[in-house]
Amino acid sequence: MRFYLALLFVFITGSIASQECNNILLGEIVDFHDNSPLQNATVNITGKKIATKSNEAGKFRLENICNGVIELEVSHPECTSQFVTLTVDGDTYQKIRLEHHLEELEEVKVVGDAANTTKTGQEGRLNEEDLEKYSGSSLGDALKKITGVSSLNTGANIVKPVIQGLNGSRILVLNNNVRMQDMEWGDEHAPNVDINSNQRISVIKGAAALQYGGDAIGGVIILNPAPIARTDSLFGRTQVSLFSNGRGGSLTSALIKSYNSGLYIKAQGSFKKLGNLEAPDYLLSNTGVQEAGISINIGKRDFIQGWEGYYSYFDTDIGILRASHIGNVDDLIDAINSQQPNVVNPFSYDIVQPNQEVSHHLGKVNYYRRLEGLGKATVQYDFQSNRRFEYDVRVGDDADKPSLDLKLTTHTISADFQLDSRQDLDLKIGVMGRLQSNFANPDTGVRRLIPDYDKLDLGVFAVFEVNLGEDWTLEGGLRYDFNRMDAKKFYRTSRWEERGYNVDFSDIVIEDLGTQLLTNPVFDFNNISATAGFNYEFESNHNLKLNYTYAQRAPNPSELFSDGLHHSAARIELGDLRIKSEASSKFSLSYEKNTGNWGYTLAPYINSIADFIILEPNSVEFTIRGAFPVWAYRQTIAQLIGVDVSLFSNWTSKIRTDHKFSWVQGTDKSTDVPLINIPSANLVNSISYLNPKLKNLSISLESQYVFEQKRFPPNIRVFSPQQQQEVDLNINTPPSAYHLVSLDTSLKFSITSENDFALGLRLTNALNTNYREYLNRQRYFVDDQGRNISLRIIYNY
Partner 1 sequence: MKKSINLFEVSKLKMLALMFGGSVILFSCNNDDNNPVAVDEEEVITTMNVTLNSIGNDAVTLQSRDLDGDGPEAPVIMVMGELLANTTYAGSIELLNETETPAEDITAEIAEEDDEHQFFFATGEAITAVDYSDEDGDGNPLGLSFSLTTGDAGSGTLQITLRHEPKKPNDGSLSDAGGETDIAQSFTVPVSE
Out of 447, 634, 654, 695, the residue judged to bind partner 1 by CB under 8 A: 447
User: Strand, helix or coil at 141?
Assistant: helix
Q: Which stretch binds partner 1 (CB under 8 A): 166-174, 202-210, 454-462, 730-738?
A: 454-462
398, 424, 471, 504: which one binds partner 1 (CB under 8 A): 398
Select 118 or 519, whichever has its Cβ closest to partner 1.
Answer: 519
**How many residues are recorded in the chain?**
797
CA–CA distance, 432 with 206 (Å, rounded to integer) = 20
User: CA of 71: how far to CAs of 82, 221, 491, 750, in Å?
Assistant: 10, 46, 73, 41
Is 621 a binder of partner 1 (CB under 8 A)?
yes
Report how many residues bind partner 1 under the rule CB under 8 A. Answer: 72
Pairing verdict, β 200-204 and 219-224: antiparallel
β-partners of residue 761 are 745, 791
**Is residue 415 near partner 1 by the rule CB under 8 A?**
yes
- Nearer Cβ to partner 1 (619/688): 619
Helix, strand, or coil (residue 492): strand
Q: Closest CB to partner 1 among 488 and 695? A: 488
Interface residue with partner 1, options 30, 190, 220, 326 (CB under 8 A): 326
The answer to whether 457 and 437 are in contact (CB under 8 A) is no
Q: 326: exposed, middle or buried (C-beta count within 10 Å: 0-12, 13-18, 19+)? A: buried
Site for partner 1 in 222-281 (CB under 8 A): none
Return d(Cα 706, Cα 661) in angstroms, integer.
10
Measured CA to CA, the distance from residue 112 to residue 89 in angstroms comes to: 46
State which of residues 105, 298, 518, 673 lies at the interface with partner 1 (CB under 8 A): 518
Of the two residues 492 and 669, which places its CB atom closer to partner 1 in the complex? 492
Q: Does 73 bind partner 1 (CB under 8 A)?
A: no
Q: How far apart are CA 380 and CA 366, in angstroms?
A: 4
Number of H helices, E strands in the chain: 7, 46
- Report in angstroms how near the CB of residue 433 gets to partner 1 at its nearest: 5
Task: Count Cβ atoms below 10 Å from residue 36 Cβ, excluding itself.
Answer: 12
Taking alpha carbons only, the member of 121, 295, 120 closest to residue 223 is: 295
Q: How far is CA 670 from CA 246, 639, 674, 733, in A?
A: 45, 10, 11, 22
**Beta bridge partners of residue 1, listed in sequence order:** none
Rounded least distance, CB 54 to partner 1, Å: 18
CA–CA gap between residue 733 and residue 725 (Å, rounded) = 21
Candidates 82-90, 205-213, 444-452, 782-790: pick the segment binding partner 1 (CB under 8 A).
444-452
Q: How far is the CB of 768 from partner 1 (least distance, A)?
A: 26
The answer to the question of residue 417 lying near partner 1 (CB under 8 A) is yes
Please state the closest distance from residue 498 (CB atom) to partner 1, in A: 4
**Residue closer to partner 1, measured from CB, 6 or 21:** 6
For residue 280, cis peptide bond before it (omega within 30 degrees of 0): no
Is 628 a binder of partner 1 (CB under 8 A)? yes
Binding window for partner 1 (CB under 8 A); candidates: 55-63, 440-448, 529-537, 741-749 = 440-448
Q: Yes or no: say if 315 and 292 are a contact pair by the CB < 8 Å rule.
A: yes
For the chain, state the CA radius of gyration: 30
Using CB under 8 A as the binding rule, the residues of this chain from 299 to 318 that contact partner 1 are: none
Residue 471 phi, psi dihedral angles, 5° rounding: -100, -25
Tell me, rounded to whole angstroms, the distance of Cα 211 from its chain centroid. 14
The verdict on 357 binding partner 1 (CB under 8 A) reads no
What is the SS3 assignment for 197?
A: helix
Distance CA 318, CA 191 (A): 13
**Between residue 704 and residue 723, which ones bind partner 1 under the rule CB under 8 A?**
721-722
Q: Which of 167, 328, 662, 776 binds partner 1 (CB under 8 A)?
A: 328
Binders of partner 1 in range 169-228 (CB under 8 A):
none
408 is a contact residue toward partner 1 (CB under 8 A):
no
With contacts defined by CB under 8 A, name the span among 44-52, 180-188, 407-415, 686-694 that binds partner 1: 407-415
Binding residues among 549-588 for partner 1 as defined by CB under 8 A: 564-565, 572
In the complex, the smallest distance separating the C-beta of residue 400 from partner 1, rounded to whole angstroms, is: 13
Query: Which one of the spans 147-155, 510-518, 670-678, 737-745 is the region binding partner 1 (CB under 8 A)?
Result: 510-518
Interface mask toward partner 1 for 2-41; x: CB under 8 A: xxx-------------------------------------
Taking CB under 8 A as the criterion, the residue among 112, 396, 469, 596 binding partner 1 is 396
Least distance CB 530 / partner 1 (angstroms): 22
Of 495, 468, 407, the C-alpha closest to 183 is 407
Asked if 503 interacts with partner 1 (CB under 8 A), we say no
CA–CA distance, 613 with 561 (Å, rounded to integer): 13
* Among the residue ranges 12-20, 194-202, 217-225, 392-400, the one whose residues contact partner 1 (CB under 8 A): 392-400
